[in-house]
Amino acid sequence: MTTNLTRNEAQNRTQLLEVDTYTVHIDVSNAETDDQTYLSRTVVDFTARFVDSTFIDLIADSVTSVQINGEMLPPAEVFDGARVTFPVRAGRNSLTIEAQARYSTSGEGLHRFTDPADGKVYLYTQYEPTDARRVFANFDQPDLKAEFIFSVTAPAHFQVLSNRGEASTEPGPGPRTGQTGDSTSAGVVTHHFEPTLPQSSYITCITAGPYEGARDEWKDPRTGQTVQLGAWTRASLVDHLDADDIFSITKSGLNFFTSEFDYPYPWGKYDQIFVPEYNLGAMENPGLVTFTDSLIFRDKVTDAQYESRANVILHEMAHMWFGDLVTMKWWDDLWLKESFADYMGGLALAEATRFTDGWVTFALRRKAWAYTQDLYPTTHPIVADIPDVEAAKLNFDGITYAKGASVLKQLVAFVGREAFFAGSRLYFKRFEYGNTELADFLECLAEAAPDRDIANWAGAWLGTSGVSELSLQLTTSDASSAGDSSAGVGTRPDANGAGADAYGTGSRMRVSSSTGARLRGPGDAGAGQAGASSVENDSGSAGAGVDSASASTVEPPRRRSGSETITGAIITQADSAEGAALLRPHTFEIATLGRSGREIVPLDTFRFEFSTESAEVEPLIGRSAGVITLLNYNDLDYARVRLDPESTEAAVTSASRITDPLSRALVWSALDNAVRDGLMPVQKYLKAYARSLGKESHAGIMAGLSQTALTCIDQWVADRNFDAAITGLLGAALDALAAAKAGSDAQLHLANLVLALTSRTARCASDSSAVAMGRGFASQILAVPVGEEVDRMYPEAPVQADGDAGGAGDSGDAGFAGDAGGAGGSGGAGSSGGAVHSTATLPFRGLVNDHALRWNALTALVCLGWADQTDIARENQSDPSSSGRLHAETASAALPLPIVKIRAWEAIREAGALSNDVLSAIISGFVAPSALPLIEGYVDAYFAGLLGFWMDNSIEIARRLVLGLYPKWSIDEEAVVEKTDAWLAANPGAPAALRRLVIERRDDLARAVFLKSTQSSRH
């Protein structure tokens, strides 16, 4: 069976065929029975340019009939499980195939889900990149567009939808001969749908089930065109559908895109359906957009999550033009739809909805995904080389989406907004309902922007990999050189001119192999294969020896007073890829930020362009230096910014005082990259983050910062510093929670942060007051019914703070190892009024309990050994929803008992018997924090099972196994790196997509080993 369609095979079919029409009938009248298969019948009419033989894609349990041009072919001879081979004649051809296709539980093909809340059955399809072949026979490649005519036979009470509107219905037959079960008593109906416009197979769609929803309509204010709108979800979630908000965002988006693109919405109706166990955020099927129903909010969420849902809606809507109307020829040019949709979705979010600061979250979270992906040894250009569909599946990544969108922001800055949209309008009109390559779009853009060198820009940005790093060296009138931050955040030249870090090292991480090949570490992007690894600094010394005496001899960076005047400014760009002298044209803005009372505000801003290795920034000369100099102000560029040392110190202590949310996010992004690259101590970052708790009010920034902070706790804090780090941060979070505004986003965010940190205290070697408070908070949540206020917490004992949370001022630090402000130090409890409360109770007025909080609290207590299976069963009984089921699976697998881990591993090994989301839930519990190394014995089992994970499962299920079970949780991380290298060396012929996943996880773990090796116990 050959399931991995190659680019060459697809190109050969394109040269041979032109597809006219598919007539597809799907019979799911047995969906509510135990039958595992359903009838699929396809008639495809096409033209062949010459006599030949070819194949059509189909993954099915069996093929019962194959007929080409009236001639019957023996299925056993022409069907191999994934392809049906047949001869073609020159001219018109007609192929008919009947098959028994399988209901899916992996989210690929036709997925079947039974809602545990009410027992109702739901179906939906998901195809990208090539899973339409799991439902009906087709030429499953994007450039063989055709008209599709669907009909579906289903139980009469099912709501059945497809890409186009329903043309007619008629009573249908019951289950066909050969299928068990009988649904005829309830009656069945056959739904006939109108023919689609020319489109690719991967964006066809069918949904069926007792879906419920709402309808509305949108009228184009320019043309008067009326589009029927629908919003749908499961019956058990329909009360939470929030259709008014969904329709409001939808109408705003349609207004925006039809106006900006000067092209009417082309696909007739616009249904949006929220479906269970979905592998993606959403899919842009024209006329029937599918979304994960996790975007239906049953419990209270922050504004960041409403913003995220709006962004997803607009991203998919942008695809109606970029991707659906004009589609890439092959997956090499996936960016022609995904990068554009990511950018356009963000633009529409900021300009057409209430989320006017939508670019803030993009800057801190979306771009962090891009930066991380671009630093892996597996990074690739935006325009990638995709030899087959397995490679395509993995290229839906941070490069194609977030980097591509970021680079498009840079392109808009480079050519101008009007020229960019003029080129886009020309692109739609010239290639409507067709397929394109990169050169086609660039040609349209060049026509719209004749004064710009589009070809040179594209070569520098789209054809290269890696991320530029921008640094600024300043001199001021009353201070010596501020230092060259290209040597690292917090770095000053030492006596010999070398970059010596004030905290012990000026080096960047290098992960090398004994074979001489390299796997890139932070800031070190050289690609290579994995061999036996070691961790070195740039001078070649072992990473374990990084904590040198230089920490006590190098003067720490100072802060600027804000009164200095800039007398010299040199900007430098360097690519993160090792040995790569890539220079890109950059167009961006620079700002100096200074104090205005207790706030930090922009003083001066201006646009700047350069494409050389370094350049003098003349517009800065004579301006006030302020306290922070910010490159890439307004986030027009795709580059990692290195703050100069003085700006870094101001950011660490005062980032929350920056009034502009986007500037604040960009400063935090620079700090995030610095700690990730080993240029800022992990403890220093965590102190800065602890200071921000209770001060930061932007929901998107809060979410982004907590993600980095939890990564620090989970992966980057050395074991000897773990207890101090997590108890200090937990104490700061509890203190901020107690002071949070009732009912605010910050209150909800901090409550969930406290629970997340509490679960991680399972790894603590000793108990502490902060840990006790975390347990007390979780216990109180479980003592309060859903819908009631968690108005106070009763600690297990009177609480003395472990350290100052920094709540009262910029000088306070959480109680991290070695700090004067730690437990018992001069900055401890009561020193600034910001310490953890020592009263008998802590009030949390306005925090209304819900199922999400209860499950998070229960799972935390399970990890700590303070709750058992009885508690889980009781909670699941009170919340029998699909979400409750998944939480129960996670909590059950998280129980800190050897027998539980054995059973969980056995269930995971039988992944084919589990749905996609249930599998992930069990894996999440299996690897959950525990006081004992209960799963250490599964490290070798993981590597022994890797090939089986991949070969025995669909790509989606295999990906969940490979990523979710990678033993980054091992107590011997260096040994895991070595075992990973050994597996890679022993399996050079393993599927490239599998090797890519393993190499990326190895890179993450090697980073963690390095960052831990640089830490002393007194940062």
Q: Which residues are identified as catalytic?
A: 316
Cβ(525)–Cβ(581) below 8 Å? no
Give the whole-angstrom CA distance, residue 178 versus residue 605.
73
Please count the CA atoms within 13 angstroms of the CA of 133 that sit on its side-chain side.
23
Tokens (6 digits) for 154? 């289903």
Give the whole-angstrom CA distance, residue 367 versus residue 401.
10
Give the whole-angstrom CA distance, residue 905 versus residue 79.
36
DSSP state letter for 4:
-
Give the whole-angstrom CA distance, residue 893 versus residue 935.
12
Place of tokens 């219905």: 169
Place of tokens 């991995």: 4
Alpha-carbon dihedral 163, 169, 170, 174, rounded to 10 degrees: 40
DSSP state letter for 5:
-
Place of tokens 């194959």: 66
Cβ(652)–Cβ(594) below 8 Å? no
The residue among 788, 786, 790, 758 whose CA lies nearest residue 773 is: 758
The residue among 491, 500, 495, 523 whose CA lies nearest residue 646 is: 491
| Residues 552-556: contacts with CB under 8 Å, at least 24 apart | 554/492, 554/494, 554/500, 554/501, 554/502, 555/492, 555/502, 556/502
The residue among 27, 100, 32 whose CA lies nearest residue 63 is: 100
Tokens (6 digits) for 721? 């510093």
The residue among 460, 489, 470, 465 whose CA lies nearest residue 376 is: 465
Print burial letters for 969-1008: b (CB count within 10 Å at least 16), e (below 16).
bbeebbebbbbbbebbeeeeebbebbbbbbbbbbbebbbb
Cβ(572)–Cβ(553) below 8 Å? no
Cβ(117)–Cβ(38) below 8 Å? no
DSSP character string of 645-672: HHHHHHHHHHGGGB-SHHHHHHHHHHHH
Region of 121 (left: φ > 0; alpha: ψ -120 to 50; beta: rest) is: beta
The residue among 58, 16, 20, 29 whose CA lies nearest residue 41 is: 58
Tokens (6 digits) for 971? 């107590």
Tokens (6 digits) for 443? 């040609």
Give the whole-angstrom CA distance, residue 470 versus residue 60.
52
